[in-house]
Chain A
């Protein structure tokens, strides 16, 4: 009988001890969940981004032992680009005390914005999400660097203005706007309407319902009838390659067809091949694998069999955007460690780290990514975006080619509109909490 109790006691002790050891091990990690979508209608865009994000963080674990000597616990949660599933992911990971949450969908971002300040989890919606969340005073837990959708639209107009010999030359012209008929696609419309008023052009909108992403012939027949001088696209997933094919089909001049950065993947232009020659897209990160950090990814992660990435996809346009996203995560964690002096930081610390993001050209070089992006220096306590520049890339029939220098956004036009939109958002929710988080000196 005694022997039996002894055995039970030993088992209980072992289990308790084991769980204490496991808890200690967990405490020595920084938990970084990644909401990704490798399945569903938008997987074509999501897979490359997920790979870029995951591989860069894996590389930090393999090369540097994590960040500041602390391993990153990286975990993906599949959203299928579905807002409902994305919110379930958020609830699932919340219990594990994530230091950051990347929704990777404007719909999911809009859903988690009210939760973030309550749960003390900073949200990083890199160059997507709610443009107005750039206003740090109203959205202390939301960050959307390096540029908002409104910045992106203003950069496209700067480019068009450059081609036309000045934005005043847009008077009387028609600009077509084809977009995924969802929160993401509709996001830049307020600024588009404002710019139409300011510069005297007419806007023609061509919404593409999610169910019709691969069935756009009616929209492009409308384009053929309306003959817009330029077409601007806010598409995603299967919508983009179909739009490029349809544009080629109606012989729309491809060098007048410009997408925001999410239409700038190789997979968006490749199905149309040579017919897509001339198609333009903004981009804020470099394309190609020729960077020391990406070489490290190839060596330590991809070649080591720790990645889901096909070798020829490393360094592609969307893959590198995923890498960019993880650079922001890593830099925020480093900053948080520096500010707090702690090695194992939490969400509140990383929020402070995000407010002090400062990636100069020299820092990009130190990271092994020289000139990978424009210097990200404007993020602060009040500005959660930075409003950084992007460049224009053009499809040459087989690959993307950089065809412009960095194009700065029209911050003077965008920022007041963002402030007004943030005020409007907050005023609609009487219970919206006032910012109580202090600003760090460096932010």
Chain B
């Protein structure tokens, strides 16, 4: 009886007693969720264009952020370093298309998936070789990212909004909206959607697969850079960020591998769900449940929608 009370009553009583903490938890979940959505978006773009699950997306977040702070540490001004990092991500996209994807065209998907494993370890090695393995402080103030917090006194308590978190939420929203418009309204965006529907049909109408791959890998690189800057500013830039990036997996399970809205909604559900779960129900299980709770949430959704929230329903007749 006591257990039932702790599961079904006590958390809601707590929410009522301290609504400021509930709001704070929702805010933390929202910011985390936006960042998960950004990472998931990187996976979705590449999956849509090439059918490849890009295992390297996580390390691309670290690599992009490391390049930015590493260049700045070598004396390059912050905004020039940002431009150069974007350049590096473009070179990476071209290199991946030329050296990894193109030679593996028509190979089974699993081969391409394994190739992204190889790419992951290559980027880890390259990052450590060039910039070292020690964590670095994100150049947040040099990039004019805001510092400090705004405290909102409410319900007899307060909700603290870190300015960097507000910036992260705004930047993530703008990026998602820009990408949505880019892929819906522009010529390249329409070409990408054609490639996503059918490689052969897209080729037959003169769409260059190679060009599309470069575009999506570059876009995924930009998304990785934005995520790396934001997450790096919240903690620091270290190789541990790669593990966080894998948090996008439950987001993808939930939102579907091919849906941009799915990545966004999935990110928010996972972000808010895991924070609420950890905060109100975590102590019942000895806390630290966040890492598996995200997968539990995704699995519960899959019971009802096996294709994910917005994923395409695949019906194969045999």
- Complex: A41 Cα to B132 Cα, angstroms: 12
Closest to B128 in A: A39
Q: Which of A289-319 contact B (CB under 8 A)?
A: none
1/0 contact string of B250-288 vs chain A (CB within 8 Å): 000000000000000000000000110011001100111
Chain A CB within 8 A of B307 CB = no
- Complex: A217 Cα to B282 Cα, angstroms: 13
B236 partner, pick from A46, A181, A208, A271, beta carbons under 8 A: A271
Task: Please judge, given known A-B contacts A206-B287, A249-B149, whether A270 and B132 are in contact too, CB under 8 Å.
Answer: no
B133 partner, pick from A43, A206, A242, A251, beta carbons under 8 A: A43
Chain A CB within 8 A of B300 CB = no
Q: Which of A6-54 contact B (CB under 8 A)?
A: 38-44, 46-48
- Complex: A249 Cα to B290 Cα, angstroms: 20
1/0 contact string of A224-266 vs chain B (CB within 8 Å): 1100000000000110011001000111000000000000000
CB contacts (< 8 Å) of B275 on chain A: these are: 217-218, 221
- Would you give the shortest CB distance from A72 to chain B, in whole angstroms? 25
Task: Please judge, given known A-B contacts A214-B231, A218-B275, whether A207 and B134 are in contact too, CB under 8 Å.
Answer: no
The range of chain B's interface size is 35 or more
Q: Are B291 and A217 in contact (CB under 8 A)?
A: no
Number of interface residues, chain A, beta carbon within 8 A: 40
A215 partner, pick from B124, B282, B283, B290, beta carbons under 8 A: B290
Chain B CB within 8 A of A205 CB = yes
Query: Which of B243, B244, B246 has the largest number of chain A CB atoms within 10 A?
Result: B243
B134 partner, pick from A43, A208, A250, beta carbons under 8 A: A43
Task: Please judge, given known A-B contacts A206-B287, A267-B135, whether A217 and B236 are in contact too, CB under 8 Å.
Answer: no
A205 partner, pick from B135, B247, B278, B286, beta carbons under 8 A: B286
CB contacts (< 8 Å) of B25 on chain A: these are: 218, 221
Chain A CB within 8 A of B28 CB = yes
Q: Are A222 and B238 in contact (CB under 8 A)?
A: no
B287 partner, pick from A44, A207, A224, A245, beta carbons under 8 A: A207
- Complex: A271 Cα to B137 Cα, angstroms: 6
CB contacts (< 8 Å) of B274 on chain A: these are: 218
B240 partner, pick from A206, A224, A237, beta carbons under 8 A: A237
- Complex: A47 Cα to B195 Cα, angstroms: 45
CB contacts (< 8 Å) of B76 on chain A: these are: none
Q: Are A218 and B279 in contact (CB under 8 A)?
A: yes
Chain A CB within 8 A of B173 CB = no
Chain B CB within 8 A of A210 CB = yes
- Complex: A208 Cα to B279 Cα, angstroms: 13
- Complex: A245 Cα to B234 Cα, angstroms: 8
Q: Are B246 and A242 in contact (CB under 8 A)?
A: no
CB contacts (< 8 Å) of A271 on chain B: these are: 135, 137, 235-236
Q: Are A212 and B134 in contact (CB under 8 A)?
A: no
1/0 contact string of A51-83 vs chain B (CB within 8 Å): 000000000000000000000000000000000
Q: Are A209 and B290 in contact (CB under 8 A)?
A: yes
CB contacts (< 8 Å) of B279 on chain A: these are: 218, 221-222, 225
Chain B CB within 8 A of A3 CB = no
1/0 contact string of A331-362 vs chain B (CB within 8 Å): 00000000000000000000000000000000
CB contacts (< 8 Å) of B282 on chain A: these are: 218, 222
Query: Which of A210, A212, A218 has the largest number of chain B CB atoms within 10 A?
Result: A218
Q: Are B288 and A217 in contact (CB under 8 A)?
A: no
Task: Please judge, given known A-B contacts A205-B287, A271-B236, whether A218 and B278 are in contact too, CB under 8 Å.
Answer: yes
Chain B CB within 8 A of A156 CB = no
Pull 8 A–B residue pairs with CB atoms less than 8 Å apart, ordered by A. A39-B133, A43-B128, A47-B133, A48-B134, A214-B234, A218-B278, A221-B21, A238-B236
Q: A48-B134, A211-B246 are in contact. List 17 more A-B contacts (CB 8 A).
A: A40-B133, A43-B133, A47-B133, A181-B288, A206-B287, A206-B288, A209-B288, A213-B240, A215-B247, A217-B275, A218-B290, A219-B278, A224-B24, A242-B236, A249-B149, A249-B162, A271-B236
